[in-house]
Amino acid sequence: MNQEPQLGAGIIKMNEKMILHIGIDEAGRGPLIGDLVIAGVLVDDSTLEKLRLNGLAESKQLNSKSRNEFYKEAVRSKAVVIAVYIPPWRIDRENLNKLEEKYIVWIIGVLRRLLGENKNAEIKITIDEVKGSAKRIESFVREVFNGVKVDYRMEPGADAKYSSVALASIFAKVMRDLNLLALKKLFGDFGSGYSTDPLLLDWIKQNYKPEQNPPLFIRRSWRNLKNIAPKWYIEKKKGPWRHRSILDYAKR
């Protein structure tokens, strides 16, 4: 991949003994509603250890209050987070695994620029699995971290195994939930956004108008939508789309 970032002094001060962790995970891959959020977090080993001692776990094992507490504690500890929001219109038109791969590479490139030219630290990069992408992402990592000691892994269920990915899963989940909270204030309570959620089914029943397009936060290519709101459903298509969702322009 010819995407090597231009390096400079960076903003992260490193020393010879420092171990830095980069964890990457997503939230919102399966729901009918809202963006997919991919978060990459850069955190030093001592901060990650403090979070572990406080009970850090993957986002699915924590309630909303605990997730928010870890989110705030990590920010106070100067963890660096880079997040990408992939809106429904792109999910409806592009391969989701390829989208994830593209933006994981982008996140890694941004974090690499922040680290600058200092090659003293050891970098541990751990990513929750994106099927078919492990080798291409590793190739990019080896290219942009040339000369730096890097331990790279991509594994299924990495958020349950590695603290850096657990922290990334918390950032992704909290940031996605903040968006959903704003949408609920505007459009009413649709619950979790999953098609099995009775709140979502009731919401669609109340708001479904076959003659009108759905709100822009609906993923229209999800097949389970075809059964509950058939006129809202569209086949996934590929092409040079120019349409944008209002969510693209919202400042998070």
Check whether 10 has a pLDDT greater than 60.
Answer: no
Beta-ladder partners of 153: 126
Q: What is the mean pLDDT of residues 188-195?
A: 94
The pLDDT score that the predictor gives to residue 251 is 36
Check whether 4 has a pLDDT greater than 90.
Answer: no
The pLDDT score that the predictor gives to residue 34 is 95
Sorting pLDDT into bands at 50, 70 and 90, what band is 241?
Answer: very low
Check whether 252 has a pLDDT greater than 60.
Answer: no
Sorting pLDDT into bands at 50, 70 and 90, what band is 6?
Answer: very low
User: Could you give the angle at the alpha carbon of 70 between the alpha carbons of 168 and 108, nearest 5°?
Assistant: 20
DSSP assignment letter at 60: G
pLDDT digits (tens, 9 = 90+) for 51-77: 999 999 999 999 999 999 999 999 998
> Which range among 6-15, 108-117, 182-191 shows the weakest confidence by mean pLDDT?
6-15
For the domain covering 19-183, report its CATH number: 3.30.420.10
Q: What is the mean pLDDT of residues 107-123?
A: 86
The pLDDT score that the predictor gives to residue 9 is 38
Domain residue spans of the chain? 19-183, 187-243
Torsion on CA atoms 175, 177, 183, 185, rounded to nearest 10: -120
- CA-CA distances (angstroms) from residue 145 to 2, 43, 174, 188? 13, 17, 29, 46
The pLDDT score that the predictor gives to residue 13 is 56
Where helices occur in 63-154 by DSSP H, the ranges are 64-76, 88-91, 96-115, 134-144
Average pLDDT value for the chain = 88
Look up tokens 């100067």; give the residue.
78
Evaluate whether 29 touches 169 at the Cβ level (below 8 Å). no
pTM of whole model > 0.75?
yes
How far is the C-alpha of 241 from the C-alpha of 87, rounded, in Å?
Answer: 13
SS3 155: strand
Evaluate whether 36 touches 142 at the Cβ level (below 8 Å). no
Which amino acid is it at 177?
D
The pLDDT score that the predictor gives to residue 70 is 94
The pLDDT score that the predictor gives to residue 248 is 43
> Which range among 46-50, 143-147, 172-176, 245-249 shows the weakest confidence by mean pLDDT?
245-249
